[in-house]
Amino acid sequence: MAAFKKSKNSNPEQVSEYMSNLEHPLKREIEEVRNIILSANNQFTEHIKWNAPSFQYKNEDRVTFNLHGKGFFRLIFHCGAKVKENNVKESFLNDSTSLLEWVSNDRAIVKFSDMNDVKEKKDKLVEVINKWIEVTF
> Which CATH number goes with the domain that contains 129?
3.90.1150
Residues with Cβ < 8 Å from 124, sequence gap 6 or more? 97, 99
Q: Are 113 and 75 in contact (CB under 8 A)?
A: no
Number of domains in the chain: 1
User: In which domain, by residue range, is 106 found?
Assistant: 11-81+93-136
* pLDDT at position 5 over 70: no
- Return d(Cα 50, Cα 77) in angstroms, integer: 13
What radius of gyration do the chain's Cα atoms show?
Answer: 14
* Helix, coil or strand: residue 89: coil
* pLDDT at position 26 over 60: yes
Is residue 87 in some structural domain? Answer: no
Helices vs strands, H then E, count in the chain = 3, 6
Global pTM reads 0.85
- What would the pLDDT profile of 40-91 be if each residue is shown by its tens digit? 999 999 999 889 999 999 989 999 999 998 899 999 999 875 555 543 434 6
pLDDT at 9: 44
Is residue 6 in some structural domain? Answer: no
* Helix, coil or strand: residue 36: helix
Is residue 5 in some structural domain? Answer: no
